[in-house]
A and B are shown apart, each in its own frame.
Chain A
Amino acid sequence: MAVAWKRKDLLDLESLSAEEIELILETTGSFKEISQRPIKKVPTLRGQTVVLFFFEPSTRTRTSFELAAKRMSADIVNIQTNASSLTKGETLKDTARNIEAMKVNIIIMRHSCSGAPHMLAGSVSPSIINAGDGSHEHPTQGLLDIFTIKEHKKKIEGLNVSIIGDIAHSRVARSNIWGLTKLGAKVTVCGPATLMPPEVEKLGVKVTYDIKEAIEGADVINMLRIQLERQGQNLFPSIRDYSMAFGLDAGKMKMAKKDVLIMHPGPVNRGVEITPEVADGPYSVILEQVTNGIAVRMAVLYLLSGVKERVE
């Protein structure tokens, strides 16, 4: 492989080159086998400490990162924000500096503010992995989606990928758009106008408000979770109305290509953005995404742990 990994942190896919993304995907392929062994552990990160610093609820991503780190023999610390000194008024930076002073190697962080991991990355020496920041990016989710697509389609270049749902609030959408377009896929985003960020076409995607257009000809359909907590903001008339217009059901699947892949980053609202028969159907790779998530995160931990240049 031509490119070597030089970055201390994984903050977003926007700043990565196509070669760096390919390197992570290649490395992921080698890590996948470890989770199928009877003894699911390699000694690579022995003696390294990984801190999981989650300021937002998460089951899937936190568990996935925790298993990834454990399968590489790292020691893990979980920091629960409701039980941490942040509730006593300590700033984020101070908390991070204190964690740094305990000589940890990698901080995996989820925060409701876009850019929070970027701010910390420049001021502390441990590697920072962004596990989702506000509505900005969720790089490992983007990578695991791209890895899953590549496993099935063998390539990314030239594929038609449609992302359907709440594009405006979705960090998953943004990481997918950056990663997929860098690798040469044609991305279409679809959703109600109220959930479409202004000027999204500047990211190099096609915009449509008609789900028919997003389904027809798509090689991959990535359904986003409709964030039910946003229902009160009058962004769509009702859940039922949203589901009729933008939910993926067996009827709408008739317009899809025969070999389409159906993806969803979870958690699924069954019957809202996707019906159970589609989510559990033959085209669905939703659970494969979860399996691949661990391998992607192991690959990222491996690459970051080798970087020698640190912030002073």
Chain B
Amino acid sequence: MKIKEKAKVLDAEQIDKSLVRIAHEILENNKDVEDLAIVGIRTRGAILAQRLAAKIGSIKGSLVPVGALDITLYRDDLTTVAEQPVVHKTEIDFDIHESVIVLVDDVLYTGRTIRCALDALIDFGRPKSIQLAVLVDRGHRELPIRADYAGKNIPTSQKETVQVKIKESDGVDEVVVAEKED
């Protein structure tokens, strides 16, 4: 199966601007919050979480704890995928009890990844609230889940894929919409 690139929807500068805007929105919505923490979903969500935490930290003038969550062990399709996906480390080195967690992922699609992430996160304690930030919301939800902060809404068809590329893992910052060809 080949994948044909159709359109670049965000470049490096637009990605950065989106993260700056999300950082401001998070601070606006959580004015009096002391225990704010950012948790990203591996792989790309965790990298975006690092960037977002740095931006929030520099606006606020104090460090924001940041963690990484691997959701593999919580997936609802392990019995149907061909072979076991690689399990990566979950790294949450702070107490999430009574804190406000902003969960970060690159793309929001069916909502199943977020469902896994909520289960995984709650196994670490009982946060006061969990909010969701994504770089791209592409629609087609299969569960009652929505984003509190979205970099960009991109209406897509289910034949299309949204590829978020991040410098740390893919060598370049960009978001492209591509289409699968049979």
Contacts and interface: CB of A to CB of B under 8 A. Distances in A.
Q: Do A and B come from one complex?
A: yes
Interface of A: 1, 4-6, 26-27, 29-31, 33, 37-39, 41-44, 72, 299, 302-303, 305-308
A305 B85 CA distance: 12
A30 B82 CA distance: 21
Given A6-B83, A41-B123, A302-B84, A33 B73 contact: no
Interface of B: 70, 73-74, 78, 81-84, 86-91, 119-120, 123-125
B74 A43 contact: yes
Given A5-B83, A5-B84, A303-B84, A39 B123 contact: yes
Contact of A38 (B78, B84, B89, B124): B124
Contacts of A72: 73
Nearest to B116: A43
A246 to B, nearest CB: 40
Contacts of A42: 73-74, 120, 123
Contact of A4 (B78, B83, B120): B83
The secondary structure that dominates the B interface is loop
In order of increasing CB-CB distance, the 10 nearest A-B pairs are A306-B84, A42-B73, A30-B87, A44-B73, A4-B83, A39-B123, A30-B89, A27-B87, A1-B86, A30-B88
B89 A305 contact: no
B90 A33 contact: yes
Contact of B89 (A5, A33, A44, A302): A33
Given A33-B91, A38-B124, A306-B78, A43 B86 contact: no
Contacts of A306: 78, 81, 83-84
Contacts of B125: 38
Contact of A30 (B70, B81, B120, B124): B70
Contacts of A307: 83
Nearest to A303: B84
27 contacts: A1-B86, A4-B83, A4-B84, A5-B84, A6-B83, A26-B86, A29-B89, A30-B70, A30-B87, A30-B89, A31-B87, A37-B123, A37-B124, A39-B123, A42-B73, A44-B73, A44-B78, A299-B87, A302-B73, A302-B84, A302-B87, A305-B78, A305-B84, A306-B78, A306-B84, A307-B83, A308-B83
A43 B84 contact: no
